[in-house]
Amino acid sequence: MDNLRAEFQMQIQLYLKSIEPEIQSLFKQGIQEAIYDYYTPVSNGYSRTYMFLNSVRTHVDLATGKMYVYSDINTGYYSAVSGEDTTSSISNWLNQGHSDSTGIGGQYHNYTPRNYLSRCYELINNKFPFLDLEIIEE
């Protein structure tokens, strides 16, 4: 029975590794649709870096048979108001929205929630409905 269990676990791991690129692609598609397609910047001279989209990573934990998909953005994004490193907040701000009244040049910061994690979940669940998906926000 232990041999059967070990074989089953190994097959799960192999399967997760085989679908890992497609899961990552679907996650990126969700980010593209929910965040980047949401608006087109109109600022002169601004060119999108797609830093958030390009920071998507996957990791299959072979011990647990779980796959994690996440944004590994750690580029040092600093607040123009306070100067503090706000990199760790970017994912949450994009997903849940963000408002403050600090403003720069008389403008207020008000970012509508993009709910990109829900869109990513939907895309992955549509393609792989048998996977046990969970959104974990940190």
CA atoms within 13 A on the CB side of 135: 16
CB 6 within 8 A of CB 103: no
- Reported confidence tier of residue 104, pLDDT bands at 50, 70, 90: low
Task: Please say if the pLDDT value at position 105 is more than 60.
Answer: no
Q: Say what the pLDDT of residue 101 is.
A: 65
Q: Give mean pLDDT, residues 17-28.
A: 96
3-state secondary structure 67-95: EEEEECCCCCCECCCCCCECHHHHHHHHH
Taking the domains of the chain in order of start, what are their residue ranges?
Answer: 2-76+113-127
* 3 state DSSP class of 17: helix
